[in-house]
């Protein structure tokens, strides 16, 4: 789902940067409103989750069609820490993936953060909160699945708007591929949240 440098017109790249910047700024503002202890603890948790997500995304999983994929894990970050935290974790991971692994791009960092940060985090948290009182695991699974699927749809729309691929090709392809990945990631996210609950993890949501 990484969009590389050169795939999008510069004007569109700037637009996506401008769309993403307020989410990061709002995260910083909300963090500064916390007391020193809660804020420091949240920063530590966010750094730990970002490190974990970055490490996980380095491992590619082979598929029968010959196109490997890796877990995104931003829905997990968003459910554990809050949707704005999910956006920040995505931004940091995408930046380091570009710098250290050559994935994605810098000019397209705004677009990729919109896709894998904003569009993963907010639908994931919305679905989780909607369903967790009925069944927490169902809420977590649905959140991860919906977050990945929403990101896949936004990715298709961005590529189509840039004239890279026609919508009637990229949208069905993304929905099919990332529905399967979303289901797999949903299971992984349920297991990860179960683990955090067992170790007594608690964090202020941002």
DSSP line for 109-143: HHHHHIIIIIHHHHHHHHHHHHHTTT-HHHHHHHH
pTM of the shown model: 0.92
CATH of domain 10-198: 1.10.1760.20
Structure token pair of residue 78: 């968003």
Alpha-carbon span 54 to 66, nearest angstrom: 23
The four Cα atoms 198, 146, 58, 136 give a dihedral, to 10 degrees, of 0
Which residue has 């894998």 as its token pair?
Answer: 116
Q: What is the pLDDT of residue 36?
A: 83
Q: In sequence order, what are the residues at sequence separation of 6 or more whose Cβ sits closer than 8 angstroms to the Cβ of residue 173?
A: 156
β-strand partners of 61: 69
Q: What is the pLDDT of residue 16?
A: 97
- pLDDT higher than 70, residue 188: yes
Q: In this structure, what are the phi and psi dihedrals at residue 61, rounded to the nearest 5 degrees?
A: -110, 120
- pLDDT higher than 70, residue 67: no
Say which residue, 87 or 65, is predicted with more confidence. Answer: 87
How confident is residue 46, by pLDDT bands cut at 50, 70 and 90?
A: very high
**In the chain, what's the furthest Cα-to-Cα distance?**
51
- pLDDT higher than 80, residue 69: no
Cβ neighbours, 10 Å, residue 198: 8
How confident is residue 133, by pLDDT bands cut at 50, 70 and 90?
A: confident
Which residue has 């890796």 as its token pair?
Answer: 70
For 129-134, what is the mean pLDDT?
90
How confident is residue 63, by pLDDT bands cut at 50, 70 and 90?
A: low
3-state secondary structure of 166: coil
Q: What is the pLDDT of residue 21?
A: 96
């Amino acid at each position: 789902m990484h969009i590389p440098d050169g795939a999008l017109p510069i004007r569109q790249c700037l637009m996506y940067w401008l769309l993403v910047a307020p989410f990061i700024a709002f995260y910083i503002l909300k963090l500064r409103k916390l007391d020193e202890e809660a804020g420091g603890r949240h920063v530590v948790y966010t750094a730990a989750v970002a490190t974990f997500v970055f490490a996980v995304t380095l491992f590619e999983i082979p598929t029968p069609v010959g196109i490997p994929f890796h877990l995104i894990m931003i829905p997990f970050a968003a459910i554990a820490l809050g949707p704005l935290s999910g956006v920040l974790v995505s931004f940091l991971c995408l930046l380091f993936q570009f710098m250290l692994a050559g994935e994605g791009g810098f000019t397209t960092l705004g677009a990729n953060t919109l896709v894998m940060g904003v569009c993963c985090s907010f639908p994931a948290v919305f679905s989780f909160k909607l369903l967790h009182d009925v069944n927490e695991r169902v809420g977590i699974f649905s959140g991860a699945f919906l977050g990945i699927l929403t990101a896949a749809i936004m990715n298709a729309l961005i590529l189509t708007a840039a004239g890279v691929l026609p919508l009637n090709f990229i949208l069905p392809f993304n929905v099919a591929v990332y529905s399967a990945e979303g289901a797999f990631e949903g299971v992984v996210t349920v297991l990860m949240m179960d683990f955090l609950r067992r170790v007594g993890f608690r964090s202020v949501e941002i």
